[in-house]
Amino acid sequence: MPNSSSCTAVLPYDSISQVPSDLSGLTRPPLLAEVDLIALAWKNPYETKNKMDAMLRRRVDREYFLLGAQAHTSDGLGIRWIINNATLDMSRLKNFTTPLLLDLYNGNEQNLPNDVTYTVKDNELVDIVLQNTVALNGVCEIHPFHMHGHKFWVHSYGAGMYDKSISDSISVVHLVLRDSLILYASEYAYFTPNRTTSNYLKACGWTKLRMIADNPGLWIFHCHIGAHALMGMNILIKEDTNKLEMHSLPQH
């Protein structure tokens, strides 16, 4: 049974068969050609009809830049996904005896993992930039991100490294209020000829969202690929927790 800081697994075998000495007769399944997903957009895209759901276009109050990357654990036995050089994996949560939100309500921030916590204030207009980079194996992964507690607009996206000088440029035509987005790989993706481990940490695409901080609490924002989330690709958004109220539920 392999055991490391990265994973623990048990592999049962019902029976043991001999591996064929000649594997030349085995064929690999055909791989589909990589497709530019942007070209598959609807002919008549859905648009936000409610004027109250239209994205605000004024200067934002706050912008966070989240640099996603992959790194080895300190013991060299595992791999983690990190955001701004910090990771929020299960090993950091397993010793908690009370929910973090309840701790904050009671004025206790001792357990709060500050290196993965980003603070916003009441009714701020906030931009969050997700920056993709090449992983340890030379591949730029795709990451579907999901935000709890809020909806947001995908404001813009692009290839390579995010350029703050174009931060006000909106590249998304149909702005729809949503709670998830895709951080695409603009280059070094699977099945491309330029994949090599020497490209590790090279910028390979970004996406920017815009949200209104209108829901006090402690909210997780995470990659929705289960393995990536378990490997630490999560942050916490701390928002006006002093405005939280506790209501006791009836016992019957």
| pLDDT score, position 48 | 57
Total-model pTM: 0.80
| pLDDT score, position 101 | 87
- The total of other beta-carbon atoms located within 10 Å of residue 140's CB is 24
* All structural domains of the chain: 57-243 (2.60.40.420)
Q: How far apart are CA 201 and CA 214, in angstroms?
A: 34
| pLDDT score, position 252 | 62
| pLDDT score, position 103 | 86
Provide block-wise average pLDDT over 10 residues at a time, the chain (252 residues). 57 73 75 56 57 83 98 91 92 75 85 93 96 96 97 95 90 89 93 88 97 94 96 95 75 66
| pLDDT score, position 115 | 95
